[in-house]
């Protein structure tokens, strides 16, 4: 799931199409400040409503790259927490 936090009114169609090709669902940020900055708490709450059985909810800026190891890391954290 990906939240579009672009409030300029101009959609980044290339990024949107690429994300959709990889199976991502894209939603508009549910609530933003008067300056257009999204409220992360509201994105988490919205994600939890849309995908209630999900084990992981995570926020990351779009300029951060992860390897496949991120899933393995999250699974190990889940074992410790549960």
pLDDT tens by residue, the chain, 82 residues: 777 766 555 567 777 888 889 998 888 889 999 988 889 999 999 999 999 998 888 888 777 888 878 888 888 888 898 7
Q: Tokens at residue 9, please?
A: 């009114």
Residue 61 pLDDT: 76
The Cα–Cα gap between 47 and 56 comes to 10
Q: Which residues make beta-bridge pairs with 2?
A: 26
- Distance of alpha carbon 74 from alpha carbon 54, whole angstroms: 12
Strand, coil or helix: 18: helix
Residue 30: the pLDDT is: 92
Q: How many domains does the chain contain in total?
A: 1
| pLDDT number for residue 39 | 93
CA distance 29 to 2: 9
pLDDT of residue 34: 92
């Amino acid at each position: 799931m990906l939240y579009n936090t672009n409030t300029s009114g101009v959609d980044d169609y290339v990024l949107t199409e690429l994300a959709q090709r990889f199976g991502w669902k894209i939603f508009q940020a549910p609530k933003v400040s008067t300056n257009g900055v999204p409220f992360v708490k509201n994105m988490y709450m919205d994600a939890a409503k849309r995908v209630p059985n999900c084990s992981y909810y995570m926020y990351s800026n779009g300029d951060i790259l992860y390897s496949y190891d991120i899933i393995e890391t999250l699974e190990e954290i889940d074992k410790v927490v549960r």
